[in-house]
Amino acid sequence: MRREPDRHPPRRKSHAEAKPIPAYGPPEGSFVAGYMSYLLAQASHVYSAGVHPRLKEKSGGIAEWRVLACLVDVDGMSVSRLAELALFNQPRLSKVLDRLGAQGLIERRGDTDDRRRVRVHITPKGLALARPLIETAKQHEAEMLAGYTDEEVAAIKRMLKQIIDRSLAINTPGPPTDPSD
């Protein structure tokens, strides 16, 4: 038996009633459009999308880039602190360090103060690779922040750091495990 189509299909919103969907992102007025965590993640995603291909092409991978960038300004860092800064768990970081070590870009050395610990050092070859990558990242940042005043850029960075600090204070049960770094 053939079924007749519904005579009264569900009413759809007119274009005037529907919330416009931006080219990228959630509809204006939706929960996620104003949800801080979503906005931070979306900002990171779209911001990184502009520079990651350039960094990946020159460094071999974004994970490698993040580790080298974290090591450029320090003379050795504990694996736990490096994992925290590079935004990796330690097992993932260990794999990245193995690759970087095999390429001669980093070295693992025993900590002179605590022989149980290992510190990661960037090599001259690693610095030679990382420095141009940092210039690429700085150039991208300048492109992304063009149109903002120096004061606005400083305010954006200050507020992001404050959000990070407050989030860590609320979400971290105790002091950092490695206060020596």
Chain centroid to CA 129: how far?
A: 20
Distance CA 60, CA 82 (A): 19
Q: End-to-end alpha-carbon separation of the chain, Å?
A: 76
* Under 8 Å between Cβ of 84 and 67: no
The per-residue pLDDT for range 113-170, each reduced to its tens digit, is: 887 889 999 999 999 999 999 999 999 999 999 999 999 999 999 999 999 999 989 9
The H or E element that residue 48 is part of is: helix 36-59
- What confidence score (pLDDT) does residue 178 get? 52
The CATH number of 38-169, from 3.40.50.720, 1.10.10.10, 1.20.1070.10, 2.40.30.10, is: 1.10.10.10
What does the pLDDT average to over 72-101? 94
Place of tokens 């690693």: 126
Please give the model's pTM, rounded to 2 decimal places.
Answer: 0.75
Give the contacts of 21 (CB within 8 A, at least 6 positions apart).
27
Residue 31 φ/ψ, nearest 5 degrees: -55, -50
Lowest mean pLDDT among 5-14, 50-59, 102-111: 5-14
Q: How far apart, in whole angstroms, are the C-alpha atoms of residue 65 and residue 67?
A: 6
Please check the confidence at residue 1 and state whether its pLDDT lies above 80. Answer: no
Answer yes or no: is pLDDT of 100 > 80.
yes
What residue ranges do the domains of the chain occupy?
38-169
